[in-house]
Amino acid sequence: MRIVFAGLALAAFAAPALAGGDCAKDVEAAFNKQRQSKAYRVVVTMPAQPDAPEDMFEYQPPLLMYRKLLTKTVPMPVETIGFGNRAWSREEGGWMEMQPQFANMTRAHLQEMFGQPVAITTPYACLGKATFEGKEYAAFRTAPERIETGETVARTIYVDPETGLPAYNVVGAVEGDKPLIIREAYDYPDDIKIEVPDGAPVMQDRH
């Protein structure tokens, strides 16, 4: 069993100061407000790669997380629950409690997410109001940077102006209509409830 967590990183590019003012503190405030939510969901996709997996995370800060990884080549999702320093996994059958060396990965992820406030050092330009997927948001963008493929890309954060919470965190080409490289969508439903599997046997060490 090997757990690989999605990046969910905000400081994607080393960038110089941006025209239009640096609004990194606005982005920082939005993500810190998110971390203080009762619960929230993150769905990570890579639209530019149609065969890429879909990664879904649910969080109940600061100790609980649920992850479901969907791949096109595997009929059943891989599910993981983390609670403090314990973790459980379900791949094909019932839940199994993970060995400590693997559970430590979920603990480290939770500590990274909620152990301290979000601190953003990458500059973000204030784009003002922008429409994304049919809705208007407050938008913030890193300085464009050319990557190995020759594309000029940037990260854009869309914040719901009514709630002050992040709605999308995307990386894509600055010009043209190409599919996004990374699309993280945030949702804040009231019905998220992560339950620890009761009585799940301990997974045997495969190594």
Does residue 75 carry a pLDDT above 90?
no
Percent of the chain residues past pLDDT 70, beyond the cut: 88
Does residue 44 carry a pLDDT above 90?
yes
Q: Would you place residue 17 in the very low, low, confident or very high pLDDT band (cuts 50, 70, 90)?
A: very low
What's the rounded Cα separation, in Å, for the pair 5 and 105? 9
More confident residue, 90 or 6: 90
> pTM score, two decimals?
0.88
Please state whether 94 falls in left (phi above 0), alpha (psi between -120 and 50) or beta.
beta
Question: Is residue 130 assigned to a domain?
Answer: yes
Query: What is the number of structural domains in the chain?
Result: 1
Structure-derived torsion over alpha carbons of residues 108, 111, 117, 123, reported in degrees to the nearest 10: 10
Q: Which residue range is the domain that position 123 belongs to?
A: 12-38+119-188
Burial 91-112 (b: 16+ CB within 10 A, else e): eeeebbbbbeebbebbbebbee
What's the rounded Cα separation, in Å, for the pair 144 and 174? 7
Query: pLDDT at position 18, please?
Result: 44
Query: pLDDT at position 3, please?
Result: 47
Question: Is residue 63 assigned to a domain?
Answer: no
Cβ atoms of 100 and 3 closer than 8 Å: no
Question: Is residue 144 assigned to a domain?
Answer: yes
Mean pLDDT for all residues in the chain: 89
Question: Is residue 176 assigned to a domain?
Answer: yes
What's the rounded Cα separation, in Å, for the pair 82 and 54? 19
What's the rounded Cα separation, in Å, for the pair 32 and 164? 10
3-state helix, strand, coil in the chain (%, to 5): 15, 40, 50
Does residue 122 carry a pLDDT above 70?
yes
What's the rounded Cα separation, in Å, for the pair 181 and 204? 37
Question: Is residue 194 assigned to a domain?
Answer: no
Six-digit token string for 16: 């110089």
Question: Is residue 25 assigned to a domain?
Answer: yes
CB atoms near residue 44 (< 10 Å): 20
Residue ranges of the alpha helices (H) in 24-172? 24-35, 100-114
Question: Is residue 22 assigned to a domain?
Answer: yes
